[in-house]
Chain A
Amino acid sequence: MSGRSLRVPEALVQRIHAHGVETYPHECCGALMGKDGETAREVVELLPLANRRNDSPRNRFEVTAEDVQMAEKKASELRLEVVGWYHSHPDAPARPSEFDREHAWPWYSYIIVSVQQREPRDTTSWRLRDDRSAYDSEAIESVAEPASI
């Protein structure tokens, strides 16, 4: 555990779950738009995105650079920034894989929801270490409503 936490309104956690169920058995993905403060980070809005890995959507997801730029523009319009990304692991644990680690950057929060037999289970968040050696778990603090940081 890194000691960091990520505030996520309960309604957004439910939307991530619903997205994971909707795309099951394929992986879902989307952007986390919010605010990054000195001591806390908060997700304020989601941007569900298409999984561009049409060749292997059951165990891979991809958000293209064009979609990343579109998400950044959308966040900017809302006076937010892209603070991370979410995706689902269908019938697999909510832990980052080696493939996840190889394709990550530090700073971003990576939320993973495990969807087992179309049922959302564990939801976790992770941040890559500076030296890329591993992820640290980031506690998800479920809140009723977005709060101002």
Chain B
Amino acid sequence: MAVKVIIPTPLRPYAGKKESVELQAATVGEAMSSLTTLFADLKRHLYTDDGRLRSFVNVYVNDEDIRYLRGDQTPLREGDILSIVPSIAGGTQN
């Protein structure tokens, strides 16, 4: 399936300065894997060292959060649009 991944502005320097990338993928997991294979420098900002999606990184398929779908296993259809959106978190040490 040909799908489009929208790259958020802060991560564009790690994705060839592209606003979006078109990929062939059958699931969200495949799309994310292809994306980070194509642009290896993206990986550390999306995934922890042990390969889990960072807690503040959210992935949407056509505006639907994949946490409410089937996560990485969410199937994709031709023309689907994936968006990567951070939540912003922080605070003091204690």
Interface residues of A (CB under 8 A from B): 27, 29, 53, 56, 59-65, 67-69, 81-82, 85, 87, 89-90, 92, 96-100, 103-108, 110, 130-132
Contacts and interface: CB of A to CB of B under 8 A. Distances in A.
Given A105-B45, A106-B45, A92 B93 contact: yes
Size bin of chain B's contact surface: 20 to 34
Nearest to B56: A103
Contacts of B51: none
Given A89-B92, A98-B93, A105 B87 contact: no
Interface stretch (B7-15, B19-27, B29-37, B69-77): B7-15
A98 B91 CA distance: 9
Interface in B12-68: 13-14, 41, 44-45, 54-56, 58, 65
Contact of B88 (A63, A89, A96, A106): A63
Given A64-B87, A65-B85, A65-B87, A107 B9 contact: yes
B85 A69 contact: yes
Given A68-B87, A105-B10, 9 more contacts: A53-B89, A60-B90, A65-B58, A87-B90, A92-B93, A97-B93, A105-B8, A107-B11, A132-B44
A68 B92 contact: no
B91 A61 contact: yes
